[in-house]
Structure 1
Amino acid sequence: MVFLSIGVVLGMKMGISQDFSQTPTHAHLNLIGGVWMFLAGLFYNANPQISSRLSGAHYLLSVVGIVGFIVGLYSEMSGQTWGEVPLMLGSTLTAVSLVLFAVIVFIGTRRA
């Protein structure tokens, strides 16, 4: 909910200022930080048999990846060059967290 709230505030800021240069940042905050994280939480809630260590690893990897990705994307969309490394690392960690989540879903929901 923190990422989604930040995305909504960024969207309101863009609307008020009529500067939509951060639209990609806003969209990724809402979709990756808000929707995807919320859906993962619903999945874990509906599947309590999933190891808390695995879900915790997924959560940590996702949060670190999203923070790096969003900070890097925001700086890149602002025309600053320092965000390239956090953007690359954050997007890579976010992709790895998606793969980990897919593995957790497939392994955690297979029938005995």
Structure 2
Amino acid sequence: MKHRVRAVAITDDGHLLAIKRIKPGRDPYRVLPDGGVESGDASLKDALLRGLHEELAATDADILALVQRIDEGPRRRVRLHHGRTRIRRVGQALGRPQALVRFRLRPGS
């Protein structure tokens, strides 16, 4: 079973962070920052922090909560761990054509 982590990343000023993926032959689309859990990750939180650094160049983040669910289909089974995070600093992520997208959250959300 594969393990993946995905962040619900919220900034201190109340924005939800997403990534706008740009791939040849497809319309751009938005995703939450995520990644696979690797053998060198000491914990799920470490995997999530590494993913936030890789995807958003986040250098100051806290994991506030982790939840999990299992996705099962005819060809795959994935244990997906969602983390609610608070991000204080992001930079320019390298490696893929993408853009950081900020969504303003309503008060109390």
Q: Same fold (TM over 0.5)?
A: no
What range describes the TM-score normalised by the shorter chain of this pair?
A: under 0.3
Higher helix share: 1
What TM-score does the superposition give when structure 2 sets the normalisation length? Answer: 0.27
More strand by share: 2
Higher relative contact order (CA 8 A, sep 6+): 2
